[in-house]
């Protein structure tokens, strides 16, 4: 665990390029040409990481200097998704739980270290992630489901199609749409920016 001091929080809209596309480009949000297509080789990807807040919450992530080891994943598909992550890629930090009100996107983290083994076996590993910022408004699962009823671009989004999957790929369109629904996110660390490779 790390013990880095957090800088004073300021509200900004994080530019997601380079190498990421803009997260608040409203003109792109409703384009029907961007779907949940597989990422092109060499292209940066987006992700969603689920965690039970009773085990590891957003407050825990921030209290740890914003850096943590994301481990304990056992599902083969989720592990393969972790193995696909590369430094610099952004992930939604999602609180899961038994109550519907607790299921929401609360923040954004960045991958700082790719998959590495921490024990025996090829699934006993982790990636390291660092806090980027908290969503201005938490995006609840029920809001995502409601939007998906009207916007076909959510079709195929694994958060909805595979609700038990703990590491979820996110398309460019869905990433931008969810960022828009959350009103952007706070920048909690002045040294965190989207240009880090």
What is the residue extent of each domain of the chain? Answer: 46-156+166-181
pLDDT at 41: 56
User: Are the beta carbons of 180 and 26 closer than 8 angstroms?
Assistant: yes
Spatial distance between the Cα atoms of 44 and 52, rounded to a whole number of angstroms: 27
pLDDT tens-place string over residues 37-83: 444 456 899 999 999 999 999 999 998 789 999 999 999 999 999 99
Confidence band, pLDDT 50/70/90 cuts, at residue 19: very low
Please provide the average confidence, as pLDDT, over all residues in the chain.
Answer: 80
Q: Stretch 113-121: mean pLDDT, rounded?
A: 92
CA angle 92, 97, 102 (to 5 degrees): 70
Whether 142 shows a pLDDT value over 60: the answer reads yes
Spatial distance between the Cα atoms of 103 and 69, rounded to a whole number of angstroms: 22
Least Cα distance to 37 among 196, 183, 174 occurs for 174
* Highest mean pLDDT, choosing among 22-36, 94-108, 150-164, 177-191: 150-164
Indicate the fold that domain 46-156+166-181 takes in CATH.
Answer: ph1033 like fold (3.10.590)
User: Are the beta carbons of 21 and 176 closer than 8 angstroms?
Assistant: yes
């Amino acid at each position: 665990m790390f013990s880095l001091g957090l800088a004073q929080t300021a509200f900004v809209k994080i530019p997601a390029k380079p190498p990421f596309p803009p997260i608040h480009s409203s003109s792109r949000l409703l384009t029907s040409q961007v779907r949940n297509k597989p990422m092109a080789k060499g292209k940066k990807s987006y992700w969603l990481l689920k965690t039970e807040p009773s085990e590891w919450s957003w407050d825990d992530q921030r209290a740890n200097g914003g850096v943590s080891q994301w481990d304990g994943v056992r599902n083969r598909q989720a592990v393969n998704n972790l193995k696909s992550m590369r430094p610099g890629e952004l992930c939604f930090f999602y609180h899961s739980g038994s109550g519907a009100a607790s299921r929401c996107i609360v923040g954004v983290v960045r991958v700082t270290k790719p998959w590495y083994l921490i024990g025996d076996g090829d699934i006993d590993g982790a990636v390291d992630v660092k806090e980027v910022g908290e969503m201005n408004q938490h995006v609840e699962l029920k809001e995502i489901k409601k939007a998906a009823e009207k916007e076909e671009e959510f079709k195929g989004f694994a958060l909805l199609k595979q609700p038990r999957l703990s590491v979820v790929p996110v398309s460019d369109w869905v990433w931008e749409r969810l960022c828009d629904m959350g009103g952007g996110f706070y920048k909690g660390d002045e040294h965190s920016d989207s240009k880090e490779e």
